[in-house]
Amino acid sequence: MTYPRIIILFGVAISIMIFGISTMLYSRTSLSDQNSSKLDTVGGHTPGYPILQTTGDVLDPTSFVINPKTAVVEPMKYLREFNYGRISTSSNGTVIRDFTLIASDRQTKEVSPGVFYNVWTFNGTIPGPTIRATEGDVIRITLINNGTKFHSIHFHGIHPSEMDGVFEGIAPGGKFTYEFTAQPFGVFPYHCHMQPLEEHITHGLYGVFIVDPKQGRPQADEMVMLMNGYDTDFDTENNFYTVNGIPFYYMHHPIQIEKNRLIRIYLVNMLEFDPLNNFHLHANMFDFYKTGTKLIPDEYTDIVTMNQAERGILEFSYKYPGKYMFHAHKTEFAEKGWTGLFLVKEGTSQSVNENLNVTSIRNITNYSTSDFNKTTSLVPTGGVN
């Protein structure tokens, strides 16, 4: 075959390839035009996400709704649920509050839509129940270890050494009753303190303990927000960040509050692996009471930064109705789940806190013992399992 003939054949082959590619591109463009009504818009609803269009199937975990039956917690229920225990009075008139917490490390639950994880829980949820008392009350908390490992409960606050939950773990199948006086007033975390501590905390063994001042605080719409994260691939880096257990939950289910009504948030940081976490409130400012141990605010701000186990009380109200974002002001945390919305509405005659279950009878702190003489224990429905 002569050299000129090779060149001619090569040119013909290139022409055929160009024609084929052009035809294919034209066909795809025509198909795209015909199916333009099927284009889906993705993203744009959380900080840092671009707006894209696609005709393909979209796996977008920020737009899924988690199944409450398999979820690690019901965030809207947890938000305003306070448990005051089974109440009795000693011979000298001291209020006694009895609680039961059940530790488990066998369950697998959904921590993000479609993502299941071996969770370690107090009473079956992450975070565990919010325990509440008044300064000076006697607290008795029975821990039942229904897990496969040693567990304990360490309460922040003031109490005797033998009630600190550090030196003696509770063996699987065992139980122990912690008893101490609730002091001082403030907001505190509780968590398992068995080694390796990192493992027990990152799997979810923690919750919030609120001690109210004897004189109470001004009436408010009260809620608990616990900041945490999940390392679902076990590389000591969090894959998801949340407030109250489920990523992006309050973006899909905005927290409804009333215009001009005082809001009080008990904020606790239990994030593992990352050194700091924070809370930023949009279009507003709040009074911040560090650790909640004073009645005079430490700061007037729109953002607070906390290390692990740091906490405080936020108080604010909104002047204008509408949707307002709150989130971690660490972009990575916000884009991986730690973001939500307040929906501020005109005031109504019915409180947003009404019709909650019996463990949430009152969401204000200026109460009397008689207000809670019918509250239940913290044992989950169905008993120990």
Mean pLDDT by 10 residues, the chain (385 residues): 56 56 46 42 42 42 68 96 97 97 96 92 98 98 97 97 94 98 98 94 97 97 98 94 96 95 98 97 98 98 98 98 97 95 81 40 37 38 35
Cis (ω within 30 of 0) for the bond into 75?
A: no
Could you list the residue range(s) of the whole structural domain that residue 85 is in? 68-357
CA–CA dist 70, 118 (Å, integer): 12
Specify if 118 maps to a domain: yes
Measured between its terminal Cα atoms, the distance across the chain in Å is 85
d(CA 154, CA 168): 11
Which secondary structure element, helix H or strand E, spans residue 259, and what is its range? Answer: none
Residue 366 lies in a domain: no
**How many whole angstroms separate alpha carbon 294 and alpha carbon 292?**
6
Classify residue 59: in a domain, yes or no. no
At 221, list the tokens: 């719409």
CATH number of 189's domain: 2.60.40.420
Residues forming beta bridges with residue 116, ordered by sequence position: 110
Strands (E), 249-338: 255-258, 263-269, 277-281, 286-290, 299-301, 303-306, 311-316, 322-327
Order the strands of the 206-212 sheet from edge to edge. 131-134, 206-212, 186-191, 154-155
Contacts of 31 (CB under 8 A, 6+ apart): none
Would you give the DSSP letter of residue 147?
Answer: S
Question: Could you tell me if residue 352 is inside a domain?
Answer: yes
Which distant-in-sequence residues (6+ apart) come within 8 Å of 318 by Cβ? 257, 259, 260, 263, 283, 284, 324, 342, 344
Q: Say which amino acid occupies 43.
A: G
The CA-atom distances, in angstroms, between 295 and each of 172, 299, 306, 314 are 42, 12, 20, 12
Q: State how many domains the chain has.
A: 1
CA angle in degrees (0–180, nearest 5) for 152-158-159: 55
- Whether 15 maps to a domain, the answer reads no
The span from the CA of 138 to the CA of 89, in Å, is 9
385 found inside a domain: no
* Residue 177 placed within a domain: yes
Contact 145, 105 (CB under 8 A): no
Q: What is the pTM of this model?
A: 0.78
pLDDT at 248: 93
Q: Are strands 221-230 and 240-243 parallel, antiparallel or unpaired?
A: antiparallel
Q: What is the dihedral angle through the alpha carbons of 356, 360, 363, 364, rounded to the nearest 10 degrees?
A: 140
Report the alpha-carbon distance of residue 260 to residue 319 in Å, rounded.
6
Contact 265/288 with Cβ under 8 angstroms? no
d(CA 214, CA 137): 10
162 inside domain? yes
The SS3 assignment for 76 reads helix
